[in-house]
């Protein structure tokens, strides 16, 4: 267990914003989790759990508590199709491992930044796959009860980019130590999500093995998304919008695409509002993917907040819809 003091949050998050964290503790073993919690409890300090920082926004005032960095590694088979993956593993490394074993279930989650431990928190998903579809349970430390627990999928209240881990009274209560998933020998089959289907048709792909899907998804994602080490960004910044039936009909009458489940793609709204490539207070809307905000020169959270509010206001005026931020804020 490594304890560091007065660490710059902007160096821990991919948006590269944020002041100082009082303490940052790197967790390397399961036993470190309880030790780190007790360290914070003895000092009466709040705790925040962080993986790669790809979906977290730091604030200018910093964090006067303890940030726990999950660096606990390991992937092992429980049986032929069931895998336990430790929370400190990169999600993309887990996808690579499973596709090399020719197992299906998370291949479309390739190239998503972040750790295994963060995947159930956000119910991470892409191209028709979500962690919810393969998740069985997580092993976690319960800060409230001060003990290690196993939580089954049916008790996680999983939804679109949400779970008990980030919504409601239990948000922040658990640190996910490991995740158990159950995969299959099945294959994804066409028709795929639009961009993946277009890639398949353009390149005349007929191999839909997990490894092939991974290669295609990876190429598509990196053709659109900035790599965190090259550009400061939190990936998809706005959530897609879900509507009731009446709102869905109103948007269809405006020629706005409404997907299955009355879902409107936020990227489409931003793009068709003419915001691609536009800069707001040092934040630029990506020319390649309108959902992406790139920190070109913003030096503070205040700049990001101004940019977000202006974009949200433009979309509200044009479509009558309110965009919601996807990355969580460290506070």
Q: Which amino acids are annotated catalytic?
A: 161, 236, 326
Q: Is residue 92 within 8 Å of 210, Cβ to Cβ? A: no
Q: Is residue 156 within 8 Å of 120, Cβ to Cβ? A: yes
Q: Which residues contact 220 (CB under 8 A, 6 or more apart)?
A: 195, 196, 199
The beta-strand segments (E) located in 80-236 are 82-86, 125-126, 129-130, 135-142, 147-152, 174-182, 232-236
Strand partners, 152: 137
Measured distance CA(255)–CA(245) in Å, rounded = 15
DSSP 121: H
Two tokens at 7?
Answer: 């660490």
Residue 136 Cα to chain centre, angstroms: 19
Q: How far is CA 87 from CA 76, 144, 146, 270, in A?
A: 13, 20, 19, 34
* β pairing state of 125-126 and 47-50: unpaired
The region, left, alpha or beta by phi > 0 then psi within -120 to 50, assigned to residue 43 is alpha
Residue 56 Cα to chain centre, angstroms: 9
Measured distance CA(22)–CA(7) in Å, rounded = 7
């Amino acid at each position: 267990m490594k304890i560091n003091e007065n660490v710059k949050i902007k160096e821990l998050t991919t948006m590269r914003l944020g002041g100082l964290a009082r303490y940052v503790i790197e967790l390397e073993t399961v036993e470190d989790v309880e030790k780190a919690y007790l360290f914070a409890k003895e000092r009466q300090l709040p705790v925040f759990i962080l993986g790669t920082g790809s979906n977290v926004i730091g604030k200018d005032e910093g964090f006067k508590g303890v940030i726990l960095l999950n660096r606990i590694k390991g992937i092992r088979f429980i049986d032929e199709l069931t895998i336990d993956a430790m929370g400190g593993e990169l999600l993309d490394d887990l996808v690579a491992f499973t596709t090399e074993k020719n197992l299906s279930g998370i291949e479309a989650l390739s190239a998503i930044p972040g750790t295994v431990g963060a995947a159930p928190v956000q119910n991470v998903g892409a191209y028709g796959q979500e962690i919810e579809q393969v998740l069985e349970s997580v092993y976690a430390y319960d800060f409230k009860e001060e003990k290690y627990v196993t939580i089954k999928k049916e008790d996680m209240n999983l939804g679109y980019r949400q779970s008990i881990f980030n919504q409601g009274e239990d948000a922040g209560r658990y640190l996910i130590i490991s995740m158990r998933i159950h995969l299959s020998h099945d294959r994804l089959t066409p028709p795929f999500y639009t961009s993946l289907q277009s890639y398949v048709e353009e390149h005349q792909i007929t191999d839909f093995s997990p490894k092939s899907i991974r290669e295609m998804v990876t190429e598509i994602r990196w053709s659109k998304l900035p790599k965190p080490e090259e550009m400061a960004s939190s990936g998809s910044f706005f959530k897609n919008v879900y509507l009731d039936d009446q709102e869905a009909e109103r948007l269809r009458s405006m020629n706005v695409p409404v997907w299955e489940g009355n879902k409107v793609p936020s990227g489409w709204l931003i793009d068709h509002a003419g915001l691609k490539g536009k800069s707001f207070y040092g934040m630029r809307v990506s020319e390649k993917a309108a959902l992406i905000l790139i920190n070109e020169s913003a030096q503070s959270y205040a700049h990001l907040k101004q940019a977000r509010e202006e974009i949200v206001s433009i979309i509200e005026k044009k479509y009558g819809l309110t965009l919601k931020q996807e990355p969580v804020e460290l506070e």
